[in-house]
Amino acid sequence: MKLHALSSYLAEGCVPAFCAAILSACPHFVRDGGSGKTRSLQSGCKGNGWEGVAQWLLLLLVFRLICGCRCLVGVLCGVSESCLVIEAAVHARGMSAGYPQAALLEMSKVGETPTPQDVADYGEPRKFDPSFKGPLKNRSCTDIICLFLFVFFLFGWAIVAFFAYRSGNPERLIYPTDSQGNICGQPPYEDKQYLFFFDITQCLKRAYKPGDLLPSLICNTPQVCVSHCPNETFWVKNAEGKEDLIRSKLICQYGVDPQDKQTYKTLEELIGNDQKCASYYLKSTSVARRCLPGKLEFDSDGRVKDMINDGKIVEAVSASKLAKKTKNSIELILAGLSSAKDVGELAFQDFKTAWPHMLIGLLCAMLVAFLWIALMRWLAAVMVWLSILCLVLLFSFGSYYSFSKYIELRNSTDSGSESLIKQFDVSVSFTQNLRAYTANKNTWLVLGIVSVVILIVLLLLLIFLRKRIVIAIALIKEASRAVALMPSALFFPILPYLLHLLLFAFWGSVAVYLASSGTAEFKYMNMTDGNNSMTTQSCSAQDFNKTLSSKTLSQLRCQFTQYVANQHLSRLQIYNFIGLIWGMFFIVGLGQVALAAAFASYYWAFRKPQDVPFFAVLHGLWITVRYHLGSVAFGSLILTIVRVIRIVLEYIDEKLKKYDNEFTKCLLRCCKCCFWCLEKFLKFLNKNAYIMIAIYGKNFCTSAKEAFKLLMRNVVRVVVLDKVTDLLLLVGKLVIVGIVAVPTFFVFSRKVDALNNHLPELNYYMLPILTISVGAYIIASSFFSVYSMAVDTLFLCFLEDCERHDGSEEKPYYMSKELMKILGKQNRLQDADK
């Protein structure tokens, strides 16, 4: 089939005319059925190096978006009998498109012979080398300068940590600080761990944004440490009983004895403008060790109504202080504080009572993942297809259940659920009752639509990728054999996880100490206007009483406001955060190189398993630490730079949200999208560069260049095999999560009567379900990460094998017989033996 005929067919059949025009201008990967060869890149799409890659990615994106479901333009997209590339290839060989095996063989051979343009762009294929027997044994250290840079950075990080540990005090973050700068719960107030506010409305007056969980900690009111929060509501003007009883209930500042009638003859002297004692307090509970009122309501006059004290109206403050203009923000703050406190306490209670059951669920997830991996060794094809079937059934069930709940709630005549929903304000960050979401029919409608969309996409992928899945299964089988010969590889992820835990612990401790290393700030507070207005003038708490007269002391108070960080702390926090990112990418790269060396030694063993090293994983880790830490540091540094740029763009975007500039927003979105794509591409390139480092022991740049050229010389196979295999592994992880999550849902939602007596009473039954599901995904990812690295390593070795060897007696293939069979290759020596 000629190119113009192909374009005409596309224009008339399944894509618009402009898609056909693009195809005509850029026929880089379109096969000519008459010649059976791949057409070269013509003048309309010429490009060398990175420009050619960008053009290929652009074409791939255009075809993915335009071609639709039926015609996905051959090897760039999905494959079906109706796709012209397969039809042309099959008919060129005189075969029928109805035989999947014939189409498979044709597809495996697409792009085998590089065109002259490919050779000019991406270099010559590797030649046969009789001395090459797999990963090199004689190596030298690579990228030493990058290793020195990484060590120098770690040394600087250690200096930052030393400064943080020396000047920081995490107790400032754990325990609150009173007006005089004393830390509650610390000497000399060890028995007073809670902070009490004399006038809580002074805190609520400060600016508040919906969605905040805590009000500002800068409150223009005296604050003292107390041993417990008030367990009743009290107001001096409305108190009943004798004066001595009223005085005994007062909460006062340090050194003030309310029973001392000689010094304080009247109650007014105690609760006056100088506020020796609090004039009122509300029944409170501890939130972050601060005494905050419980559930309150507001009437139309803006007065506070205590819902606990028998419905008694307590005019804690005048209507002028709780004016209508501040009423909404106060309601939001108290609702947010109360709901956040309630959710946090109830969630912690659920964790405390249900942790043994959640631990059992996580152990079951580990057992399921291990059994799944073990069965992959012998039943790879069955397990893969079973995974796909389970995923389809899972989303089918999710769609059915979601729409059933939606119809049930829509047709329900019970107004109880509607009234339950209406009592919650969506502007509050937390709701006091998470069941309000499940009682909302719109929640199930959204879940149902999402499930249906995912199900449709999954079915379309199965239709168009069904033949590629067969080849991908062969790679997974080969990876299963490699893992079976090296069972220690399954437990290797424990080492990176431990390193990640140490890294996070170090970063977190340094961040906490840096955040708590500021200096205490004190400012004058004016007590004469009755509103406790804070001035901008700083003061010293130690010298305050010495420098001011007694008259001035009654008008001003030197009060602690906050801990102020010096100008260098923010830079140190940035340095600490960059260290976290670089360390994470470094640990990932370390594990990838070690596993790549182990699996490469398996592939290049001509006699399997006789020639496979006994401690292949340990040997791979040794050569990585001994020779290639510099290359790992180099690759992780590149990813760190891109990730930091992305974070900076997110920060700029957040800052510019208050400005209504569509051009700037569009520009930022484009930049964020480009750097996201760049990071994904660099991760892919890094992974393959690490594989080449593990095999040939060259530096990072050389390995990345060779890996890139090898992949581009075989770009069809990269799309056909590698990415489909990644999709299948992702399906396996999701199926494991589903296998664990579905029974967990039925158990904790008490739909299994036989187990109800063994379950604790929970406030939020979805909490253990989500915890177990997330844990199951993490566990499954740890197992499948080894498989993913095995598949990528074997795939790159397979490409090298195809370029180096031709199956002759002098140049036999190193791939397994099963892989040769499904790819239509063979060693002539084996045929002669038969």
DSSP string, 782-806: HHHHHHHHHHHHHHHHHHHHHHH--
Provide the pLDDT confidence category of residue 419 given band limits of 50, 70 and 90.
very low
Mean pLDDT of 332-351: 59
CB atoms within 10 A of CB 609: 13
Confidence check: pLDDT of 685 > 80: yes
Residue with structure tokens 């120098």? Answer: 152
Q: Residue 263's pLDDT is what?
A: 82
Residue 151: CB partners within 8 Å, gap ≥ 6?
Answer: none
What's the pLDDT score for residue 760? 75
pLDDT at 110 over 80: no
Place of tokens 């990176």: 496
Determine the average pLDDT of the residues in 469-478: 79
Mean pLDDT of 478-489: 83
- Answer for the pair 454, 396: CB distance below 8 angstroms, yes or no: no
Model confidence at 781: pLDDT above 90: no
Q: In the prediction, which pLDDT does 681 show?
A: 92
pLDDT of residue 659: 79
> pLDDT tens digits for 502-540?
999 999 899 988 888 766 676 666 655 445 554 556 666
- In angstroms, the CA 551 to CA 438 distance is 61
Backbone angles phi, psi at 306, to 5 degrees: -80, 120
User: What mean pLDDT, rounded, does the chain reach?
Assistant: 72
More confident residue, 734 or 438: 734
Q: How far apart are CA 195 and CA 177, in angstroms?
A: 7
Contacts of 405 (CB under 8 A, 6+ apart): 441, 444
- Please write the tens of the pLDDT for every residue from 715-770: 777 766 667 777 788 888 888 888 888 888 888 887 777 777 777 777 777 888 88
Q: Is the pLDDT of residue 100 over 50?
A: no
CA 503 to chain centre: 17
Q: How confident is the model at residue 575 (pLDDT cuts 50, 70, 90)?
A: very high
Per-residue DSSP letters for 644-702?
HHHHHHHHHHHHGGGS--HHHHHHHHHHHHHHHHHHHHHHHHHHHHHHHHHHH---HHH
How far separated are the first and last CA of the chain, in Å rounded? 39
Cβ burial 661-687 (10 Å sphere, 16+ → b, else e)? eeeeeeebeebbeebeeebeebbbbbb
540-554, 590-604, 635-649, range with the lowest pLDDT: 540-554
pLDDT tens per residue, range 3-35: 333 333 333 333 333 333 333 334 333 333 333
